[in-house]
Amino acid sequence: GVPFFFLIREGEALSDIKLRIQKKFEVPDEQFLKWKFAYVAYNRPDYLQDSDIVLSRFQKNIYGAWEQSLGLEHSDMPSKKPYMANQNRHSFEKPVKIYN
């Protein structure tokens, strides 16, 4: 998947986060019901319930804090980007070049 930044508020339950993510990505209800959410630390998922307070899982000030994330398990969605839908199988997006 493609990582993205998403603000999680203090005391926010997974059910509230799911609503915001569904709205952000415009996922239909029937498809979104299949998505699973997990707290992932060191590549080990711990699946969450809607009532879980997500931020309480994340630990601050520990070595390896960058290894913590909220994982979304879902099937691939068709691209909503028109330029991707019109490309044939032999074309690709331009790579990003980073210069120091």
10-residue stretch averages of pLDDT, the chain, 100 residues long: 86 97 94 94 92 91 76 73 46 50
pLDDT at res. 86: 46
CA angle 39, 51, 65 (to 5 degrees): 25
Non-local CB neighbours of 35 within 8 Å, separated by 6+ positions? 18, 27, 72, 73, 74
pLDDT at res. 80: 53
Non-local CB neighbours of 55 within 8 Å, separated by 6+ positions? 8, 9, 10, 11, 12
Which pair of structure tokens corresponds to residue 85?
Answer: 């839908």
Measured distance CA(63)–CA(53) in Å, rounded: 22
CA of 78: how far to CAs of 12, 26, 87, in Å? Answer: 30, 12, 13
pLDDT at res. 54: 95
